[in-house]
Amino acid sequence: MRDLDSLFQDIHACDSEAALKWYRELYEAILTLEKLPRRCPSTRENLQLRNLLYGHKPHVYRVIYRILEKQKQVEVFHVRHGARREFSAPELE
Tell me: the pLDDT tens digits for 32-51?
Answer: 999 999 999 999 889 999 99
> Would you state the pLDDT for residue 1?
63
Q: Are 75 and 65 in contact (CB under 8 A)?
A: yes
DSSP labels, the chain: -HHHHHHHHHTTTTT-HHHHHHHHHHHHHHHGGGT-GGGSPBPSS-TT-EEEEEEETTEEEEEEEEEETTTTEEEEEEEEETTSPPP-GGGG-
pLDDT at 14: 86
Cβ atoms 40, 51 nearer than 8 A: yes
Q: How far apart are CA 7 and CA 19, in angstroms?
A: 10
- Domains of the chain (ranges, CATH numbers): 2-92 (3.30.2310.20)
- HSE-CB of 44 using CA atoms within 13 angstroms: 5
pTM score: 0.81
